[in-house]
Structure 1
Amino acid sequence: MDDAALTKLLQPEGWGLLNAMPPYEEKLAMAMSGSLRDKGVDPDLVAAVLTQSRLRTRGREKFGEFADGMLFTPAGLEQATRLSVGAQHAGRFRAAGTQKIADLTCGIGADSMAFAASGLRVLATEIDELTAAIATVNLRHFPEAEVRLGDGLALDLTAEGVDGVYADPARRTSSGKRVFDPRAYEPPLDAVWALRDAVPALGIKVGPGIAHDGLPADAEAQWVSLDGDVVEAGLWFGPLAPDGPGRSALVLVTTPEGVRGHAVPPVTGPDLADAGPLQDYLYEPDGAVIRSGRVATVARELDGHLLDPTIAYVTTAHPRPGYALARGYRVLDVMPFGLKRLRTYLRERDVGRLTIKKRGTAIVPEQLRKQLDLRGSSERTIVCTRVAGAQSVIVVEPLAADHQDG
């Protein structure tokens, strides 16, 4: 979408047409396009409306019903923070006493929406003109939020009365390729880190694949998951890190009552745990816990130990109901890995549907499933990993939901 298409979209005809669109279905898009064109609708407007309808449908995963009143760019939606996670960001600034926050790389305005909704005054900057215009639309219901076109790093933060800074640097190239080197972010991470000298309350969203080596010693680095998916990492400085620097994790779980958070407090240096024999229960730590290097914390809390010093599986003699930091399984059987042995074992038990989990092995689950050629009627879960240094298969059954998220 270009500026001309956006202008047409924001006219009463375009806005009304977009808001009247049914949920987007790819198989109906061509017919819908033809029908609108036959009715005399500008072809450029048709294209813009269908694009936004498609993006709104995708956007519901991150924004729920709010997506139906928003505009998006594909790249902006890809990088945008989910509203439930943005609320966590806003909570940090509120708890630190922040009054006015500068969102230096606001994109389509996702985090700025969460900040403004929490009562913070927001100065949102965006260097791309089209994206800034879209952010303005998305923030139209928040009078306490101002969107400004320009380089956020050029702001005079003191003159603007800003006492909190947030940035979400771009982590993809113009062609869409993911960027892993923080020095290649836009703006570069070093340039954003330097702002903590002017405003200590600084938060930065980074990719969850960021390496531990090279993280600033004065930051809390927190990895965040939502319903089992690792969605981001964040660096928090000064009053935004009240528990001090180090690596932490936040596991968010959606429940009927709302999103519940389960935090692992920060720790500096290595977090180690012993390894030992397989016991009656196996736990797979949440991805945010693994990325933050806090698997040992899970082992201690479960009164268990690792299966292997280098593999993120914890085993324990007793289940822990309501434990949200790891997915639990009851161990049913264990055997050395061997294709023929495993095929015979599963066929004898009439297994046709197989969930394959793996860690610390070169096994490719889809390839293994084809090689097993199972045709039974029952279901099993297996874990392919190392036990006492040997490639093994652990047959497990997932613990009931009340053992997980109580």
Structure 2
Amino acid sequence: MHSSEMAELTALLTPDGLSLLDELGPVVSTADAARAVSRLRAAGHSPDLVSAVVGQAHLRAKATAKFGDFAARMLFTRAGLEQATRLPVAAHHASRMRTAGIARVADLGCGIGGDALAFAAAGLRVDAVDADEVTAAIAAYNLAVFGDTVTVRQGRAEASPLSDVDALWLDPARRTAGHRETRRVGAADYSPPLDWAFEIAQTLPTGIKLGPGHDRDELPAEAETQWVSADGTVVELVVWTGALARDGVRRSALVLRGERAHELTAAADAPDAEVRELGAYLHEPDGAVIRARLVGEVARELEGGMLDPHIAYITGDAALTSPFVQSFRVRETMAANAKAVNAALRAHDIGTIEIKKRGMDVDPAAFRKKLTLRGHASATLFLTRVGTRHLAILADRVRADQV
């Protein structure tokens, strides 16, 4: 806990401080922040209060992407916002708890309270704990609206009493000291330690939120592992155990697009689909499907195969699409060099291009600078490897209502 951060928080958590924050409105840019600081200091407010109010106004503006309108009524740390679960994703965590009959959950490592907010809104009682004093105080503020349905305290997850709860939610911290930065860490650097988290998950129904790139070999073999993407970005991996893990499901990919949710489940990694020549369509699987190793399942659903055994592109001739892929109608293929691509762009009157690459050591931004884009049409260019060949594929994005 940093004394400067506690001083700022103490200054902020007063009626005058909170009123000043609400009156200030959003602070989006550096210029907004500079103007706000000058105005508030000129009005005679203390440096701690000005720093806290302007910093919170900026974080609230950034938090809208994760919390929507709720952000305007919440407090944050920068690292806490970075780590926090998006509210639509947290709602799925809460729904799973409710479906499993959970009435009371311990949220160990609650951060600024994103998941606890969703749990409480779903009608669960929540015991929220965070090891950091500043973070726990902010979580208490964010969750105060739920009254005695939620308790928040500072403490270590490993020392928390669990006799009265039905389930656990764990979001092990992956942070350097303080609240300002995050970094990549190994399993031993998590707090609480992952060994402890996986062990306690064998005794109570548990959800453990991890980064989506977590080493699969370190995951408990008997648990359900679920990769989640939101609007095209893979945001988390959750390990579910006990009553929170579904019968017969060991791998799942949950794909959230706007307000719609689609899920693919399987008892194990899906066998790869057969490799086939490029067909009329190219399909790019969602990152959650790739992480969950369910690409073969989607390929068979689309009556397609793999373009290359080591690259996650699906191809086929059937006019089918799926919520688990982005689909493209192939226009033309060529060698993956600027001269050949430019000839195709001229022939098709392409002036706007989206570049995707997989399996090739190429910088799309640098490749774009070599292209001549003077036409009126738009397209997508794939740069990929098929066997030993480097291939460029010019294609058009397909909407689900077009097939």
- TM-score by length of structure 1 reads 0.93
Question: Residue 243 of structure 1 contacts residue 265 of structure 1 at CA under 8 Å; is this kept in 2?
Answer: no
Match of 1:15 in 2: 18
Q: Name which of 176, 186, 203 aligns with 1:173.
A: 176
Match of 1:183 in 2: 188
Shift of 1:388: 5.2
| In structure 1, C-alpha distance between the alignment counterparts of 2:291 and 2:114, rounded to whole Å | 24
Question: Residue 180 of structure 1 contacts residue 207 of structure 1 at CA under 8 Å; is this kept in 2?
Answer: no
Match of 2:398 in 1: 399
Please tell me the residue identity of whatever aligns with 2:16: E
Aligned pairs for 1:167-316 (under 5 A) are 167-174=170-177, 176-199=181-204, 201-254=205-258, 259-269=259-269, 271-316=271-316
| In structure 2, C-alpha distance between the alignment counterparts of 1:236 and 1:326, rounded to whole Å | 25
Distance 1:184 1:56, change over 3 A: same
Shift of 1:181: 2.3
Question: Residue 179 of structure 1 contacts residue 185 of structure 1 at CA under 8 Å; is this kept in 2?
Answer: no
Please tell me the residue identity of whatever aligns with 1:288: A
Question: Residue 349 of structure 2 contacts residue 376 of structure 2 at CA under 8 Å; is this kept in 1?
Answer: yes
Question: Residue 223 of structure 1 contacts residue 234 of structure 1 at CA under 8 Å; is this kept in 2?
Answer: yes
Equivalenced residues, count: 396
| In structure 1, C-alpha distance between the alignment counterparts of 2:183 and 2:266, rounded to whole Å | 28
Q: Which moved more, 1:213-222 or 1:386-395?
A: 386-395
Shift of 1:103: 0.5
Match of 1:68 in 2: 72
Question: Residue 320 of structure 1 contacts residue 403 of structure 1 at CA under 8 Å; is this kept in 2?
Answer: no
Shift of 1:190: 0.9
| In structure 1, C-alpha distance between the alignment counterparts of 2:227 and 2:396, rounded to whole Å | 28
Shift of 1:33: 1.3
Question: Residue 128 of structure 2 contacts residue 153 of structure 2 at CA under 8 Å; is this kept in 1?
Answer: yes
Shift of 1:111: 0.6
Question: Residue 28 of structure 2 contacts residue 62 of structure 2 at CA under 8 Å; is this kept in 1?
Answer: no
| In structure 2, C-alpha distance between the alignment counterparts of 1:127 and 1:387, rounded to whole Å | 50
Equivalent position SS for 1:20? helix
Please tell me the residue identity of whatever aligns with 2:197: V
Shift of 1:359: 0.7
Match of 1:154 in 2: 159
Distance 1:376 1:260, change over 3 A: closer
Please tell me the residue identity of whatever aligns with 1:278: L
CA shift digits 1:111-167 (9 cap, x unpaired): 110111101110001111111000000001112000011112112311xx1110010
Distance 1:219 1:171, change over 3 A: same
Equivalent position SS for 2:333? strand
Shift of 1:210: 0.8
Match of 1:329 in 2: 328
CA shift digits 1:287-332 (9 cap, x unpaired): 11111111111101111111011111111212225x2100011111
**Stretches of structure 1 lacking an aligned partner (at least 5 in a row):** none
Q: Which moved more, 1:239-248 or 1:110-119?
A: 239-248
Match of 2:111 in 1: 107
Equivalent position SS for 2:339? helix
| In structure 2, C-alpha distance between the alignment counterparts of 1:332 and 1:243, rounded to whole Å | 44
Question: Residue 180 of structure 1 contacts residue 209 of structure 1 at CA under 8 Å; is this kept in 2?
Answer: no
Shift of 1:274: 0.7
Question: Residue 328 of structure 1 contacts residue 403 of structure 1 at CA under 8 Å; is this kept in 2?
Answer: no
Please tell me the residue identity of whatever aligns with 2:153: R
Question: Residue 202 of structure 2 contacts residue 242 of structure 2 at CA under 8 Å; is this kept in 1?
Answer: no
Question: Residue 224 of structure 2 contacts residue 241 of structure 2 at CA under 8 Å; is this kept in 1?
Answer: yes
| In structure 2, C-alpha distance between the alignment counterparts of 1:32 and 1:132, rounded to whole Å | 27
| In structure 2, C-alpha distance between the alignment counterparts of 1:198 and 1:324, rounded to whole Å | 36
Question: Residue 227 of structure 2 contacts residue 236 of structure 2 at CA under 8 Å; is this kept in 1?
Answer: yes
Distance 1:377 1:336, change over 3 A: same
Identity of aligned residues (%): 46
Match of 2:131 in 1: 127
Equivalent position SS for 1:169? coil
Equivalent position SS for 1:362? coil
Q: CA RMSD in A?
A: 1.7
CA shift digits 1:173-203 (9 cap, x unpaired): 237342242232111111111112431x111
| In structure 2, C-alpha distance between the alignment counterparts of 1:40 and 1:177, rounded to whole Å | 34
CA shift digits 1:369-399 (9 cap, x unpaired): 1122434443221111123542111110001
- TM-score by length of structure 2 reads 0.94
Shift of 1:25: 3.0
Question: Residue 220 of structure 1 contacts residue 241 of structure 1 at CA under 8 Å; is this kept in 2?
Answer: yes
Equivalent position SS for 2:326? strand
